[in-house]
Amino acid sequence: MKKMKVGLIYTSTTPELIELVEEETRKVLGSQVEMVSYQDPSILAEARERGYVTSKAAARLIDMYMEAVNAGVDAIINLCSSVGEVADAAQDIAKYIGVPIVRVDEEMCREAVRQGKRIAVMATLPTTLEPTKNTIKRVAREMGKQVELVDALIDGAFGLNQDEFTACMLNKAAKIEKEVDVILFAQGSMAYCENVIFEAYGKPVVSSPRFGAVALKNALIAKGLLK
What's the confidence (pLDDT) of residue 169?
93
Of 162 and 76, more confident: 76
Statement: residue 227 has pLDDT above 60: yes
What's the confidence (pLDDT) of residue 34?
95
**CA gap 137, 143 in Å, rounded:** 10
User: Could you please report the per-residue DSSP string of 78-113?
Assistant: E--GGGHHHHHHTHHHHHHHT--EEESSHHHHHHHH
Q: What is the pLDDT of residues 135-157, one digit of tens each?
A: 999 999 999 999 999 999 998 77
Statement: residue 2 has pLDDT above 80: no
User: What φ, ψ does residue 165 adopt, rounded to 5°?
Assistant: -65, -45
What's the confidence (pLDDT) of residue 125?
85
Read off the pTM: 0.91
Q: What is the pLDDT of residues 74-103, one digit of tens each?
A: 999 999 999 999 999 999 999 999 999 999
- Give me the mean pLDDT over the 35-40 stretch: 96
- The 3-state DSSP composition of the chain as helix, strand, coil percent (nearest 5) reads 60, 15, 25
User: What φ, ψ does residue 73 adopt, rounded to 5°?
Assistant: -70, 155
Count of C-beta atoms within a 10 Å radius of residue 212: 27
